[in-house]
Amino acid sequence: MDYKEKIDRIVDLLRSSKRAFALTGAGISTESGIPDFRSPGTGLWEKMDPIKTSSASALRLNPAQFYANTMARWSKFRNAEPNYGHYALAELEKMGYLMGVITQNIDGLHRKAGSERVWEVHGHLRTCHCMECKKRFDFELIPAQLDKGVNPPLCPECKGIIRPDVVLFEDPMAEDFYQASRVLSGCDLLLIVGTSLTVYPVAGLPQLARRLVIINLMPTPYDNQAEVVIREKISKVFKDIMERLKETQSG
């Protein structure tokens, strides 16, 4: 299939599916100015060791250094704005073509774009909690304390160390992952967007879907199982999908 035929096929699949979802990774947010993690030459984890800088053990062993390594990146996530790919997925949900979005991203951009059913399998940066008393707070407590020179940030109640509600390396998966695994039961179409599907257990989720569409710049282990594979910029692909979808509706 050429590119136009691939777009037409995706539109046909969306229109004929009864239980379609999207699974997104870091690639959908690069056009919002957020670097991805594993692209050759540019990926964040090529520049730093995630176990030494961004893991549960790094937080436990040297919490002040952990925040020095991560806070600038998280601030960038929180200040980013959705791009066309995020908005298109939200619109597809509103139009009834998607039942929701499962995302590996912690940047919150799907919710900002208006997606209502979002499973954030690696957590998010809206809240944080005390590692001692477990009380939960707004994430803003962390940068507010760091700005005052309090590093690591401490719980206002018991002075335990505060951590964000994200899944760090070595952490168990968030409850959203198990919910996502359940909602994918009976999934007849999964749009895989901006993820190379190399990190488990999320990389196993496509096995729960009957049909796959993959939109990603790099190859994935599931390419040979997909109905359609497109290696183009995500915003371009979704502009063409939405344009063609609306053409077929009006026609």
Q: Is 130 one of the annotated binding-site residues? A: yes
pLDDT category at 199 given cuts 50, 70, 90 is confident
In sequence order, which residues have a C-beta less than 8 Å from that of residue 47 and are 6 or more positions away?
none
Specify the pLDDT at position 73: 84
Q: Which two tokens stand for residue 78?
A: 């929180």
Which pLDDT score is estimated for 40? 52
Q: What was the pLDDT predicted at 42?
A: 46
* pLDDT given for residue 43 in this prediction: 47
pLDDT interval class at 76 (50, 70, 90): confident
Place of tokens 């020179």: 149
Domains of the chain: 1-33+83-122+173-251 (3.40.50.1220), 35-79+123-166 (3.30.1600.10)
List pLDDT tens digits, range 20-49: 999 999 999 999 999 875 555 544 544 556
pLDDT tens for each residue of 127-156: 999 999 999 999 999 999 999 999 999 999
- For the stretch 238-250, pLDDT in tens is 999 999 998 887 6
**Pairing assessment for the beta strands 118-120 and 136-138 based on DSSP bridges:** unpaired
* 86 has pLDDT over 60: yes
Sign of the dihedral defined by the CA atoms of residues 72, 78, 80, 86, in that order: positive
Whole-number pLDDT of residue 52: 75
Residues forming the active site: 122
CA distance 162 to 135: 9
The residue-averaged pLDDT of 92-111 equals 97
Residue 53: which pLDDT band, with cuts at 50, 70 and 90? confident
pLDDT over 90 (residue 72): no
Q: Average pLDDT over the chain, rounded to whole?
A: 92
Average pLDDT over residues 64-77: 88
> What DSSP string describes 125-163?
EEEEEETTT--EEETTHHHHHHHTT-SS-B-TTT-PBEE
- What is the distance between the alpha carbons of residues 206 and 189, in angstroms, rounded to a whole number? 9
Structure tokens at 95: 């139009």
187: annotated binding-site residue?
no
In terms of residues, how long is the chain?
251
- What is the spatial distance between Cα 33 and Cα 6, in angstroms, rounded to a whole number? 27
Q: Which long-range contacts (CB under 8 A, 24 or more apart) does 116-122 make?
A: 116/90, 117/93, 119/176, 119/177, 119/179, 119/180, 119/183, 120/174, 120/176, 121/167, 121/173, 121/174, 121/176, 121/177, 121/180, 121/202, 122/166, 122/167, 122/173, 122/174, 122/202
Bridge partners of 190, per DSSP, are 21, 212
128 is in an annotated binding site: no
